Amino acid sequence: MAKFMVHPTNLQDVKLLTPTVHGDQRGFFSESYTARDFKEVGIRQDFVQDNHSYSRQAGVLRGLHFQTGEAAQTKLIRVVTGVVYDVLVDLRQGSPTYLKTEGYLLTGHNQRQLLVPRGFAHGFVTLTDEVHFLYKCDNYYCKQAEGGISWQTPELAGIWPLAVDQALLSPKDTQLPTLAEFRQNNPFVYGKI
Residue among 28 and 161 whose Cβ is closer to ligand T46: 161
Least gap, CB of 1 to ligand T46 (angstroms): 32
Q: Are 57 and 164 spatial neighbours (Cβ–Cβ below 8 Å)?
A: no
Residues forming beta bridges with residue 22, ordered by sequence position: 29
Show the binding pattern over residues 137-156: x = contacts ligand T46 (CB under 6 A), - = does not. ----x---------------
Q: CB-wise, 51 or 174, nearer to ligand T46?
A: 51
Q: CA 44 to CA 67: how far, in whole Å?
A: 20
174 binds ligand T46 (CB under 6 A): no
Question: Sheet holding 146-148: strands in order across?
Answer: 101-107, 83-90, 120-126, 61-67, 146-148
65 carries an active-site annotation? yes
**Is residue 118 a contact residue for ligand T46 (CB under 6 A)?**
no
Beta strands in 128-173 (DSSP E): 131-137, 146-148
Among 170, 174, 184, 185, binds ligand T46 (CB under 6 A): 170
Active site residue 22: no
Checking phi first, is residue 94 left (phi over 0); if not, alpha (psi -120 to 50) or beta?
Answer: left
Residue positions counted in the chain? 193
Number of residues that bind ligand T46 (CB under 6 A): 10
51 binds ligand T46 (CB under 6 A): yes
CA torsion 176-178-179-183 (nearest 10°) is -80
12 vs 49, beta carbon nearer ligand T46: 49
Q: Closest CB to ligand T46 among 51 and 184?
A: 51
By CB under 6 A, residue 122 contacts ligand T46: yes
Q: How far apart are CA 88 and CA 122, in angstroms?
A: 5
Question: In this chain, which of 11, 38, 58, 62 binds ligand T46, going by CB under 6 A?
Answer: 62
Give dist(CA 108, CA 88) in Å, integer.
20
Contact segment (CB under 6 A) with ligand T46 among 15-23, 34-42, 61-69, 105-113 equals 61-69
Evaluate whether 6 touches 16 at the Cβ level (below 8 Å): yes
Residues interacting with ligand T46, by CB under 6 A?
51, 53, 62-63, 65, 122-124, 141, 170
List, by residue number, the catalytic residues. 65, 135
